[in-house]
Structure 1
């Protein structure tokens, strides 16, 4: 009869001592005790946030000033929308629509990268936060602190980054849920304080998730 033995880290270390002596066991102890490096922490969090792009969900946030904002994502067809005080951005595979207030919306050719620059108002998009993390991962002198928390009933991993070059904010604090949803973000960008926190999460989308505001004038600015 074949017997399978599952060894814990302690068991592996004991086996190593028996077979090789103490001098040959350093790698096991070091590998088991080594914490994630700064780069690993940032890269893992960026990858976790990127995974959220494959989800269908509606996330509501409280933003600076006590107002609300919403991020909606769908997969088939692929599209997303960002509704925030003072505007709205809708990104699909065929068109990109940006609204100022609730009265005028500009329609342009599809721009999948449009959401990555949504960081100049009360709401930062997951794509923009991910881009900032990717830049931070390449900076060798970023000060990084991490912790876990619970936001809107969901477990989240958080990073506080300081001294980041090449991003809209040298210092920013963000949390990402286990699913890959941006749970919170805090920074000052171009003099505007962004302070958003997840308040509700649903896998069902509202019926108006990808519609322009009722009565808004839609202006086609696509190249002729």
Structure 2
């Protein structure tokens, strides 16, 4: 998903701008605000770098379920799978697939414009099924940075053999912990998203991707709406 970094940078910069307009706040509060904006910028930068990687990550979800995120470059393409669904984004189409029925059905939508990311709405079903995507994590961090009552702490851990930096957030809207590997790949998440408890943890990571990751499920029915979207 090229140029998602622009969106992440805009998010981080909007946090800094919002926090700096309250010039009458106490010095301690100002220091806390700067710390939070720096943290959002740091995680946004990690996600930014990850968008330029080729990798495949498999995650464990509660109940023994799994989800995956795969990316490749030249050309840029990505794929997300979760229990009952799959989303692929290529230069040809954005494919939204339902795989939880006897026969998978995929709806083809117009691909994102060059240097643009897919609309956030495309990830709604993934989030509902338990796959927390990096943009969701950035959104939660942004909200936490703007919450003067939130307590934010950084920690370190190891996930699937990879060092990861974590952010623990305690706030009235719901606590959460998010970790990212040194490469910038989402490593784990535990907490509430839109009031729903969610949890995932990196189980396997590789810097290579099978081209089949970006293909539609075998035997899937196809509804082509690309012309209607153009």
TM-score category of the 2 structures, normalised to the smaller one: 0.7 to 0.9
Cα offset, 1:123, TM superposition: 0.7
Kindly report structure 1 stretches of 4+ aligned residues shifted beyond 3 Å. 114-118, 134-141, 190-193
Residue 69 in structure 1 maps to residue 77 in structure 2: no
Q: How does 1:1-224 map to 2 (within 5 A)?
A: 37-101=35-99, 103-111=104-112, 112-114=117-119, 117=124, 118-163=126-171, 170-190=174-194, 192-224=196-228
TM-score, normalised to structure 2, is 0.72
Unaligned runs of 5+ in 2: 1-33
Cα offset, 1:191, TM superposition: 5.3
Cα RMSD, aligned residues only: 2.3
CA–CA distance in structure 2, aligned partners of residues 71 and 38 of structure 1: 28
CA–CA distance in structure 2, aligned partners of residues 124 and 93 of structure 1: 24
Equivalent residue pairs, number? 186
Distance 1:104 1:122, change over 3 A: same
Output one character per residue of 1:132-165: Cα deviation in whole Å (capped at 9) or x when no partner: 3344334443221220011111000001123377
CA–CA distance in structure 2, aligned partners of residues 172 and 113 of structure 1: 25
Cα offset, 1:194, TM superposition: 1.9
Higher RCO by CA contacts (8 Å cutoff, separation 6 or greater): 2
TM-score, normalised to structure 1, is 0.74
Distance 1:85 1:140, change over 3 A: same
Distance 1:127 1:207, change over 3 A: same
Contact 2:40 2:138 in 1 (8 A): no
CA–CA distance in structure 1, aligned partners of residues 68 and 172 of structure 2: 27
Contact 2:71 2:78 in 1 (8 A): yes
CA–CA distance in structure 2, aligned partners of residues 155 and 188 of structure 1: 24
Contact 2:160 2:203 in 1 (8 A): yes
Larger Rg: 1
Cα offset, 1:61, TM superposition: 0.7
Contact 1:116 1:127 in 2 (8 A): no
CA–CA distance in structure 1, aligned partners of residues 142 and 123 of structure 2: 12
